[in-house]
């Protein structure tokens, strides 16, 4: 019996695709990678829109299941492959609830300013626009508040949800990587002792 391998449609430059790749690797899951050529507009073609009507990457196909939205995908993978690789979900109900909580924080509090900073400092200039420094400053302010809360949290536990690496940490990997490298905003991380230790730990995985 040949097990169907998960097919991941995406692009390595996409942070959302990177999040799913991180999860597949943590869970030690075999997958086929189907490159969606974003620069050629492949994500807006009927063939891809049939998989993901929103026309964004990534999308996975697992047998009869087609799933999009990176945070939904990583949660699915973490549950389906609970018995292999890093756990990512927590074992007790309380641990799982804390993972959910910090995953929500990433989606609602960390991601919006981080993605805005990336868009303004890197993507807009690439597309011939200019960076709106005022917008960048506002969002650095928002991110500073979030990271101050992280600093407090990480002074008490090794990872966001507790003393185990979970989806809550994993979801931060692609965006923080871009913030530190492409956006040259590494001081947001390095200026906070516990956030910095956490980032060095999770980014070295």
Domain boundaries, the chain: 6-81, 93-204
Q: What is the CATH number of domain 6-81?
A: 3.40.30.10
Closest among 204, 185, 97 to 147, alpha carbons compared: 185
pLDDT at 1 exceeding the cut of 60: no
Task: Tell me whether domains 6-81 and 93-204 share a fold.
Answer: no
The domain defined by 93-204 folds into Glutathione S-transferase Yfyf (Class Pi); Chain A, domain 2 (1.20.1050)
pLDDT in tens, 148-192: 999 999 999 999 999 999 999 999 999 999 999 999 999 999 999
pLDDT-derived band at 3, boundaries 50, 70, 90: low
Average model confidence (pLDDT) across the chain: 96
User: Residue for token digits 């891809």?
Assistant: 48
């Amino acid at each position: 019996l040949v097990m169907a391998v998960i097919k991941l449609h995406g692009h390595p430059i996409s942070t959302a695709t990177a999040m799913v790749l991180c999860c597949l690797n943590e869970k030690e899951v075999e997958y086929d990678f189907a490159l969606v050529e974003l620069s050629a507009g492949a994500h807006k073609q009927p063939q891809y829109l049939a998989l993901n009507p929103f026309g964004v990457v990534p999308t996975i196909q697992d047998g009869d299941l087609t799933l999009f939205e990176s945070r939904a995908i990583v949660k699915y993978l973490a549950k389906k492959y609970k018995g292999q690789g890093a756990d990512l979900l927590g074992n007790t109900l309380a641990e799982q609830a804390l993972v959910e909580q910090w995953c929500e924080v990433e989606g609602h509090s960390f991601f919006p300013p981080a993605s805005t900073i990336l868009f303004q400092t890197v993507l807009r200039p690439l597309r011939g626009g200019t960076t709106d420094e005022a917008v960048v400053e506002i969002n650095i302010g928002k991110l500073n508040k979030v990271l101050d809360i992280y600093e407090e949290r990480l002074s008490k536990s090794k990872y966001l949800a507790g003393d185990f690496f979970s989806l809550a940490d994993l979801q931060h990997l692609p965006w923080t990587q871009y913030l530190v490298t492409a956006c040259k905003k590494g001081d947001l991380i390095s200026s906070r002792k516990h956030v910095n230790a956490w980032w060095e730990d999770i980014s070295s995985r």
